[in-house]
Amino acid sequence: TRILGIETSCDETAAAVIDDRGGKTEILSNVVFSQIADHAAFGGVVPEIAARAHVEALDGVIKAALDEAGVTLTEIDAIAATAGPGLIGGLIVGLTTAKAIAAASGKPLVPVNHLEGHALTARLTDGIEFPYLLLLVSGGHTQIVHVEGVGRYQRWASTIDDALGEAFDKTAKLLGLPYPGGPSVEKAAAGGNPKRFAFPRPLKGEARPDFSFSGLKTAVRREASALAPLGEDDIADICASFQQAVTETLSDRVKRSLERFRETHPDIETPALVVAGGVAANQAIRTALDTLCDKTGFRLIAPPIRLCGDNAAMIAWAGLERLKAELGEDDALGFAPRPRWPLDQAATPLFGTGK
C-alpha cells in the first residue's frame, strides 16, 4: 500500500507518502511547512492565521510530497488525514482537501486521530510490537497510555493542569525567549546552573500516576519577577533549574506506570517505553527517561527528532496501520473534524459494522 498523509491540526502544514510494498515500510517523502514565522510575533499560535496559512500552503505541500516521493496521485492507494484533535480551522482545511482527493480518485480515506499518529510512530521507526507503554508529551497533551494494539488505548495518567509543552512555552514567554518555547528553553538551559533555583516537583512521590505543571510555571514567574530585570545568566539558570525540575518530576511520575505495566505484563522481559510528541525532542528529558529505563529494566524508544514534532509521515503511518487492522470509518467522507478527540476514544468500528 502507498498512502498519502495530510496533517493540519496546529501550525504545521504537512504531507507525506509512505510505502510498504515489497515487505518493508519506507517514508518516500515527509514535507513539513512550519508556520512558526507567521505566529512568532504573537508569541503563540493564532488560530485564524493558522487556518489561512494552511489554505495557502496545503496544495503546494501535497504536490511537494508527491514530487519528492516520485509518484503521482494515481499511484496512491489511500489517503489519511488528521481529523482531530486540534484547531478546527486547520482540521477543516486538511480533512476537506483529503475528502476531495479521495472522492475524485475513488480511493479510501482514513480519518486519523493526531495523537494516534504520535502514539504509533515508534512502530514505523523501530518496528516494535504491542503492547507498550507510551509517554505522550506535546503542546496540548501529557499522558501515559497503555498501547495494546491499533485502536486499543488505555489512558493511565494525564496532566491535571498544563501540558508539558505548554509549560515550556509559557516559561519561555515569560522569560522573553522566542516562540516556540521548548527549543528556546532547552538551548538557554544548556549554559545554566540547574541547582540555582529550587523549583517545585509537582506531585512527586504521590501514589496517583498523574502529572501537574502549572505550579512549576508559577514558581518560575515568581522568581523571574523577583529578579527583574533578568540578565542572560539569570535566564540560563532559570531554564536549567526548570528543566531539572521537569526531568525529576517526569521520571518520578512515569515510574508509577512502569510498575503498573510490569504487573500487567509479567511475561514481557524488557518492555518498551515509547516517548512521543514534540517535547520528546528534548535531550535532557530523553536522557532522564533513558536512565529511568536502565534502572527499571525497560528499553526507551524515542523517535528521531524530525518525527517527534508534528508531521504527516506519522499520520500516513497511522492510516496504514488502520487499513491493515481493518479499522476505519464507515462513512469516512462524511466524517466531521473533531477539535476534541481523546486517544482512548479513537477506537473505531470495523469496516461495515456500523457505528
What is the rounded CA–CA span in Å between residue 3 and residue 328? 14
- Nearest 5°: the CA angle 160, 128, 70 is 105
Site for ligand ATP in 145-184 (CB under 6 A): 165, 168-169, 180-183
- Residue 319 makes contact with ligand ATP by CB under 6 A: no
- Residue 57 makes contact with Mg ion by CB under 5 A: no
Is residue 198 helix, strand or coil?
coil
Residue 183 interacting partner from Mg ion, Fe ion, ligand ATP, none (CB closer than 5 to 8 Å by kind):
ligand ATP
Which of residues 3, 4, 6, 10 is near ligand ATP by CB under 6 A?
Answer: 10
Which of residues 121, 143, 282, 348 is near ligand ATP by CB under 6 A?
Answer: 282
**282 known ligand binder:** yes
What is the rounded CA–CA span in Å between residue 295 and residue 279? 22
**70 known ligand binder:** no
Site for Mg ion in 300-319 (CB under 5 A): 310
- Residue nearest to Mg ion as judged by C-beta position: 10
Residue 25 near residue 124 (C-beta atoms within 8 A): yes
Q: Which residues pair with 78 in a beta bridge?
A: 3
What is the rounded CA–CA span in Å between residue 161 and residue 211? 8
What is the rounded CA–CA span in Å between residue 291 and residue 288? 5
Is residue 297 helix, strand or coil?
coil
Residues 102-141, one symbol each (x = binds Fe ion by CB under 5 A, - = not), give ------------------------------------x---
Sheet holding 132-137, edge to edge: 152-158, 142-149, 132-137, 272-276, 299-301
Which of residues 310, 327, 335, 337 is near Fe ion by CB under 5 A?
Answer: 310
Residue 321 Cβ vs ligand ATP, minimum distance, rounded to whole Å = 18
Residue 242 near residue 171 (C-beta atoms within 8 A): yes
Number of residues that bind Mg ion (CB under 5 A): 3
What is the rounded CA–CA span in Å between residue 314 and residue 328? 16
Residue 116 interacting partner from ligand ATP, Fe ion, Mg ion, none (CB closer than 5 to 8 Å by kind):
none
Residue 118 Cβ vs Fe ion, minimum distance, rounded to whole Å = 6
Please state whether beta strands 132-137 and 142-149 pair in parallel, antiparallel, or not at all (unpaired): antiparallel
Residue 225 Cβ vs Fe ion, minimum distance, rounded to whole Å = 31
Quote the DSSP letter at residue 178: P
Site for Mg ion in 174-233 (CB under 5 A): none
Q: How many CB atoms lie within 10 A of CB 107?
A: 16
Which of residues 186, 210, 237, 321 is near ligand ATP by CB under 6 A?
Answer: 186
- Residue 279 makes contact with ligand ATP by CB under 6 A: yes
Chain centre distance of CA 210: 18
Give the residue carrying C-alpha cell 510555571. 217
- Residue 11 makes contact with Mg ion by CB under 5 A: yes
| Contacting residues toward Mg ion, per CB under 5 A | 10-11, 310
| Contacting residues toward ligand ATP, per CB under 6 A | 10, 86, 114, 118, 138-141, 165, 168-169, 180-183, 186, 277-279, 281-282, 309-310
| Contacting residues toward Fe ion, per CB under 5 A | 138, 310
Residues placed in the known binding site for Fe cation: 114, 118, 310
